[in-house]
Amino acid sequence: MRSLLFYACAALLGLSLDVPAAAQEAPPPPIAIVHAKVYVPGGKDPLPNGTVVIDKGKIVVVGDDLAPPAGARVIDARGKVVTPGFIDAESQVGVVDVEEEEQTDDTDARGDMNPALRMVDGYNPRSAVVPITRAEGVTSVIVAPRAGVLGGQSAFADLAGDAVNDAIVRPVLAQYASVAEGIAQHAAGTRGGLWNMLREALEDARFYATHRGAYDANQVRQLSLRRAGLEALVPVVQGNLPLVVHAHRASDIEAALRLADDLKLKLVLSGASEAWMIADDLARRKVPVIVDPLEDLPQRFDRLHSRSDNAAMLQRAGVRVIIATYASHQSRLLWQHAGNAVRTGMDHDAAIRAITETPADAFGLKGYGRLEKGAVANVVVWSGDPLQLSTRVEHVFVRGREQSLETRQTLLRDRYRTLPVPRDGSR
């Protein structure tokens, strides 16, 4: 109780005095969320009366029927639900303001071969999209390139912090390739030509990795990429950086699997509308597969077998399913995308894992996507089932700090809550 009193006093002081910035940023007291339904990792049932304690940016305690530690700020979450902050495994949050205004859009570079491109270089943590996304329970995003045979390197960001260095957790997380319909014809004329381009680029990178000296001395044959591109692909061909391949047609997915086998790549599939047709194979190989459960139409000839229960069928076959939005401004709807996977037959807890643990594990994001001791304290308190339409987000913590739920949209809402709007600057 003492610390609560202290906290209240500090808040008062903060209002009445011009407290120096350093004092304001003193570490907050531990936070104990109690009496909640708590989602825990490893396929275990949620804790019915769980406690989650957050301190110094980390989760320090997760358990059932535990009393909060002395001095903690206590959040009574009776009847509420606590999950890890959701991770959108493929998004464009922070790299585009207005899609229709090209000059504000840093999602795709010119040209087909951009392996050296780093999405982190375009990331803006002050984007209006960031708080809007966070206010619906997404606390981290994989910011991925959208175009190109080799599209570049994604970044992994927490949706908090004003400085890029603050927000970015991993400036380079994975490399991206696409064989989706339209790409091949644009870049190489045919699918075969595209796979040749990809294979040549990766083989050249493997060659380059062991011939850097000769390369610098200008003593190697001509390679298909320039130096920066080759450098970017070295960790891919060494199996250290995942290669995310956008492919929809089952036969295209099979081609990606062959390439990954031949070159010993760490493969992640994305899009994957027809993945359900080869689900057993994908399960056996333990390849992570990123899907959007809302994509159920034969939008193109390379996804004629799209179906809304793709995610559910993959899950039942034992595939490592990840759910993503592929969106920027609507990345905030990750919960709804996952909810629709449940609507079409996916297990509820598997759908939660598909936006927490599974992407964290697939991309080697240690401490993310799970509520357990030692994990990064990205935590969301929901008024009910996180995948349900009527549920609201009540608290969002990123690295242990509670985030404001105010957004540009809530400011607009409040300004126009009653008409006429007073033009005296009061709202």
Partner 1 sequence: MRLASVVVLCASVAVGACLPPNNNKAPPKLAPPPASVQTDPYAEDEARNRLAVEVREEPHGAPVLLQHATVMTATGQTYAPGYVLMENGAISEVGAGDGPAPKEGTVVVDARGKFVTPGIIDPHSHMGVYPVPNTSAHDDGNEMTDPVNAGLRAEDSFWPEDPAIERAVAGGVTTVGILPGSANLIGGRGVVLHLVPQRGARSMRFPGAPEILKMACGENPKRVYHEQKRAPSTRMGNLRAVRDAFVRARKYAREWDEYVKKQQAPKTVDPRTGAKKDDGEPKPPDRDLALETLALVMRGDILVEWHCYQADDMLAALQVADEFGFRVRAFHHALEAYKIRDVLAKKHVGVVTWDDWWGYKMEAWDGIPENLALVTEAGALGIVHSDSEIWGQLLNQSAGKALAAGRAAGVKLEEEDALKWITANPAWALGIDDQVGTLQPGKRGDVVVWSEDPFSTYAVAMLVYVDGQLVFDRMHVGAPWSDFELGVRAMPPRPASSEGVRTQTPNAGETK
- By CB under 8 A, name the binding residues for partner 1: 97-101, 128-129, 294-301, 304-309, 312, 316, 328-330, 333, 336, 339-340, 342-345, 387-392, 409, 412-413, 416-417, 419
Comparison of 31 and 342: residue with beta carbon closer to partner 1? 342
Comparison of 332 and 399: residue with beta carbon closer to partner 1? 332
Residue type, 204: D
Question: Beta partners for 195?
Answer: none
Closest approach, Cβ 74 to partner 1, in A, equals 24
> For residues 196 and 113, is the Cβ–Cβ distance under 8 A?
no
Closest approach, Cβ 266 to partner 1, in A, equals 31
Comparison of 373 and 413: residue with beta carbon closer to partner 1? 413
Comparison of 72 and 132: residue with beta carbon closer to partner 1? 132
H or E element at residue 322? strand 320-323
H or E element at residue 8? helix 2-16
What is the Cα–Cα distance from 196 to 190, expressed in whole angstroms? 10
**For every residue of 107-167, which 3-state class applies, written as one string?**
CCCCCCECCCCEHHHHCCCCCCHHHHHHCCCEEEEEECCCCCCEEEECEEEECCCCCHHHH
> For residues 380 and 386, is the Cβ–Cβ distance under 8 A?
yes
Rg (the chain; Cα; Å):
23
The number of beta carbons lying within 10 Å of the beta carbon of residue 124 is: 17
Comparison of 203 and 347: residue with beta carbon closer to partner 1? 347
Closest approach, Cβ 142 to partner 1, in A, equals 20
Comparison of 224 and 308: residue with beta carbon closer to partner 1? 308
What is the Cα–Cα distance from 271 to 400, expressed in whole angstroms? 33
Residue 388, both tokens? 């349900």
Comparison of 23 and 421: residue with beta carbon closer to partner 1? 421
What is the Cα–Cα distance from 290 to 196, expressed in whole angstroms? 24
Phi, psi of 266 (to 5 degrees): -90, 100
> For residues 386 and 395, is the Cβ–Cβ distance under 8 A?
no
> For residues 60 and 54, is the Cβ–Cβ distance under 8 A?
yes
Closest approach, Cβ 347 to partner 1, in A, equals 9
What is the Cα–Cα distance from 326 to 328, expressed in whole angstroms? 7
Closest approach, Cβ 414 to partner 1, in A, equals 9
Closest approach, Cβ 427 to partner 1, in A, equals 13
Comparison of 97 and 372: residue with beta carbon closer to partner 1? 97
Closest approach, Cβ 394 to partner 1, in A, equals 10
Closest approach, Cβ 345 to partner 1, in A, equals 4
What is the Cα–Cα distance from 396 to 136, expressed in whole angstroms? 9
Query: What three-state secondary structure class fits 200?
Result: helix
Closest approach, Cβ 326 to partner 1, in A, equals 12
From the list 239, 228, 243, the residue with the least C-alpha distance to 288 is 243
Comparison of 403 and 407: residue with beta carbon closer to partner 1? 407
Closest approach, Cβ 359 to partner 1, in A, equals 21
Comparison of 221 and 417: residue with beta carbon closer to partner 1? 417
